[in-house]
Amino acid sequence: MNRKILFHLLSATILTVLVTACSSGLKPLTSDYVKATPQPLELQAGKVPVTINATFPAKYFNKKAVVTVTPVLRYEGGEAWGTSYTYQGEKVAGNGQVIPESTGANVVMTSSFDYVPAMQSSELYLTFTAKVGSKEIALPEVKIGDGVLATAGLLDASSETPVIAPDKFQRIIKDAYNADIMFLIQQAELRSSELKKEALADWKNTVTNASQAPNQKVDVEIQAYASPDGGLDLNEKLAANRESNTNKYLNKELKKAKIDVPVSAKYTAEDWEGFKELVEKSNIQDKNLILSVLSMYKDPEQREREIKNISSVFSVLADEILPQLRRSRLTANIETIGKSDEELAQLAVQNPKSLSVDELLYAANLAQSLTDKEAIYKKAAELYPNDFRTFNNLGVVEYQEGKIADAEAAFTKALSLSGNAPETNLNLGLVSMLKNNLTQAQQYFGKASSLADAGKAAGLLAIANGNYSQAVSSFGNSASNNSALAQLLSKDYSKALSTLNAVSAPNATTSYLKAIVSARTNDVSGVVSNLKEAIKLDPTLVTKAASDLEFSKYLTNSQFASLLK
């Protein structure tokens, strides 16, 4: 069909519509009578909301007319229909909003479309179905908008790093081993029965082994005490003599065993702290009364008198508590020096069975590549299948590698082992965000509120729900593409740019967001330079930028246009 014939047919069709509409009293509405906001439309919380204000002018609405108005958003490959609104004339019996013929009326229609990326290049129309009485009237569509601003769609949960369940590896482990030598009341002599105790022999063996071990260091402390039931002068001499006798004995034993370790010694005349601790742990009746006496009297001599009075009433003090305070305590402070980073990295690959679960988890952190990390975590999960951390951390690496299904399986296994580990809950929440299951994500994130990264998770969810100010607050001072996006959507462009400049590992999205900030602040050179860098890192952004309404006013700029070629 040639263009001339087609033109005449279209003209005839339009004329028929106009004649039919006019004869009924209804006329086609023009865009002058309709306003859609926002303009352009904007993605928010996975939807494209629109509010339409329309005016039916005076003398427009036939008293017997019924008009149903429906917005439709058309894009390449599809269309989305909004909420229909029905309006009727004054002589119609129905449920629609009545429009007076003489005055007309202003009406408000709201709709929301489920977003798909193709909607960035789209057109919004109002469509009409109309009747006057039983006669159908054809009214032409009215175009009321172009495109969807989809900047909120740059939210990317996959760019956030899931949470590692920490290892408990310590390079230097400090332990203290104690043994007591007990004394009789008001005596400082060492008794053979005490020196032959199995506990003391075990303690000496511990010191011997530590002194000979190549990865251990040991020093010894002696602390001698007297119980607080005698005079201060007497207790002072007793404690000093007990310390001296114990020190001589221990140094003799160490010399005989050819053990060279540092030994320090001191004494406490009246062991009130030890007395208090033993009473608190005891089942003595009215022990709170005894403890109150200690808190009431600070003077040592007054305490001595009171403790004697108490001892006469509570014989259990004299029989069970005070004898335990007449002692010299031997303490072996042992430092065990763990494997070096080099040793751990080597063993994790060559002999992982020789490492504890915490050593393996630590070694995985030392690995340089995600592939190497994944291999170590898989081995850790194989060797220690009941430790949730092995599966959680394996899932973290798989998430970073983009293996989301594998990561979800690992996180699910970890959660079944841990019961309710906050790290795994947060990680499953990230997976739920990627699957656009915001309700489930919120449930998982709620169980991870104790973590330092909980704010970032809350920020992601707030952006996804369209709560941009809340997102800014949740992200706090964290520097990431997503936190900058929240600031951009809240129109704090200066802060958004500052955050983007602080991102530790900037990528194509970082530069693309900088280009958007530049576009919104009329910085042409910033638009060009940042978009150039973004396209260099990710060439697919050429197509996105060409249809992105953020850059619509720069399409005629020669430098901008050259980037899209």
Query: For 1-23, what is the mean pLDDT?
Result: 38
12 has a pLDDT exceeding 60 = no
Distance CA(515)–CA(99), nearest Å, equals 48
The band of 15, judged by pLDDT with boundaries at 50, 70 and 90, is very low
Query: What DSSP line would sit under 339-405, residue for residue?
Result: --HHHHHHHHHH-GGGS-HHHHHHHHHH-SSHHHHHHHHHHHHHH-TT-HHHHHHHHHHHHHTT-HH
Distances 419 to 49, 125, 247, 463 between C-alpha atoms, Å: 41, 52, 51, 29
Question: What CATH number is given for 3-149 in this structure?
Answer: 2.60.40.10
**8-state DSSP, 93:** -
Cβ atoms within 10 A of the Cβ of 250, count?
A: 19
Give CA angle at 138 (132, 141), nearest 5°.
Answer: 125
Query: For 225-231, what is the mean pLDDT?
Result: 83
Cβ atoms within 10 A of the Cβ of 409, count?
A: 15
Beta-sheet strands, E only, within 193-258: 216-225
Q: Is 25 left (phi over 0), alpha (psi -120 to 50) or beta?
A: left
Domain with CATH 2.60.40.10 in the chain: 3-149
State pLDDT tens for residues 139-177.
999 999 999 999 999 999 999 999 999 999 988 889 999
Q: Which of 387, 335, 322, 331 is nearest to 359 (CA)?
A: 387
The band of 311, judged by pLDDT with boundaries at 50, 70 and 90, is low
pLDDT at res. 4: 40
Distance CA(480)–CA(339), nearest Å, equals 36
pLDDT at res. 18: 37
pLDDT at res. 24: 52
pLDDT at res. 5: 36
Buried b (16+ CB within 10 A) or exposed e, 116-131: beebbebebbbbbebb
The band of 20, judged by pLDDT with boundaries at 50, 70 and 90, is very low
60's tokens: 């427009």
Question: 172-337: what CATH class?
Answer: alpha beta
Domain with CATH 3.30.1330.60 in the chain: 172-337
State pLDDT tens for residues 79-94.
999 999 999 999 999 9
Residue 261 phi, psi dihedral angles, 5° rounding: -135, 150
Q: Which of 144, 112, 151, 154 is nearest to 30 (CA)?
A: 144
